[in-house]
Structure 1
Amino acid sequence: MSESSRLFLPAAHCMPEIAGEGVAMSDPRVIAVRVADCGEPLVSLRDDDRFLIDERKASATETFAMIRSGLVDQLWMAEKYLRERGRRLRVVECYRPPTQQSQYFQEEMSRLAAEHPDMTSNQLIELAGRYVSPPWVAPHSCGGAVDVTLVSLDGTELDIGYRINTTPRRPGEMSFLDARALPEHARDNRMLLLAAMNHGGWVPHWYESWHFEIGTRFAALMTDLDKSVYGVISDPHTEYL
Structure 2
Amino acid sequence: MKPYQTVPIAECHEPLVQIPDHFFKINPHPYIALGAPYGDQSPFFVRQGILERLQKSQIYLQTLHPNYQIAIFDAYRPIPVQQFMVDYSFAQLAASKGLPIDNLTELQKDLLMTEVIKFWAVPSNDPQMPPPHSTGAAIDVTLFNAELNTELLNMGSPIDEISDRSLPDYFASSSHPQAFAFHRDRQLLNAVMTHSGFARHPNEWWHFSYGDQLWAWISNKNLAIYGRANSAC
Distance (whole Å) between structure 2 residues aligned to residue 116 and residue 81 of structure 1: 50
Determine whether 1:179 maps to 2:165: no
Match of 2:4 among 26, 30, 36: 30
> Could you say what secondary structure the match of 2:43 adopts?
helix
> Could you say what secondary structure the match of 1:118 adopts?
helix
What corresponds to 1:19 in structure 2?
none
Q: How many residues align?
A: 205
What corresponds to 1:51 in structure 2?
23
Distance (whole Å) between structure 2 residues aligned to residue 152 and residue 206 of structure 1: 25
Aligned pair in 2 of structure 1 residues 116, 130: CA closer, same or farther (>3 Å)?
Answer: farther
Contact kept? 1:90, 1:149, Cα under 8 Å: yes
What corresponds to 2:117 in structure 1?
129
What corresponds to 1:153 in structure 2?
146
Cα deviation code 1:62-91 (max 9, x no counterpart): 511000011111001111121112311111
What corresponds to 1:190 in structure 2?
186
Determine whether 1:74 maps to 2:74: no
Aligned pair in 2 of structure 1 residues 186, 120: CA closer, same or farther (>3 Å)?
Answer: closer
Distance (whole Å) between structure 1 residues aligned to residue 206 and residue 105 of structure 2: 27
Matches within 5 A, 1:100-111: 100-108=81-89
Distance (whole Å) between structure 1 residues aligned to residue 11 and residue 87 of structure 2: 26
Distance (whole Å) between structure 2 residues aligned to residue 73 and residue 157 of structure 1: 23
Provide the alpha-carbon RMSD of the alignment.
2.5
Distance (whole Å) between structure 1 residues aligned to residue 55 and residue 105 of structure 2: 42
> Identical aligned pairs, as a percentage?
23
What corresponds to 1:118 in structure 2?
107
Aligned pair in 2 of structure 1 residues 62, 53: CA closer, same or farther (>3 Å)?
Answer: farther
Determine whether 1:220 maps to 2:216: yes
Kindly provide the amino acid, as one letter, of the partner of residue 139 in structure 1: P
Match of 2:161 among 155, 158, 166: 166
Kindly provide the amino acid, as one letter, of the partner of residue 162 in structure 2: T
What corresponds to 2:15 in structure 1?
41
Contact kept? 1:38, 1:229, Cα under 8 Å: yes
> Could you say what secondary structure the match of 2:169 adopts?
coil
Contact kept? 1:75, 1:200, Cα under 8 Å: yes
Contact kept? 2:5, 2:213, Cα under 8 Å: yes
TM-score (norm. length: structure 1): 0.75
Cα deviation code 1:117-169 (max 9, x no counterpart): 42686x7665432111112231111100111110113332111111112222x
> Could you say what secondary structure the match of 1:187 adopts?
helix
Contact kept? 1:68, 1:144, Cα under 8 Å: yes
Shift of 1:35: 1.3
What corresponds to 1:143 in structure 2?
136
Shift of 1:214: 0.7
Contact kept? 1:147, 1:211, Cα under 8 Å: yes
Distance (whole Å) between structure 2 residues aligned to residue 228 and residue 187 of structure 1: 30
Distance (whole Å) between structure 2 residues aligned to residue 216 and residue 100 of structure 1: 19
Distance (whole Å) between structure 2 residues aligned to residue 195 and residue 116 of structure 1: 43
Aligned pair in 2 of structure 1 residues 208, 31: CA closer, same or farther (>3 Å)?
Answer: same
Determine whether 1:89 maps to 2:70: yes
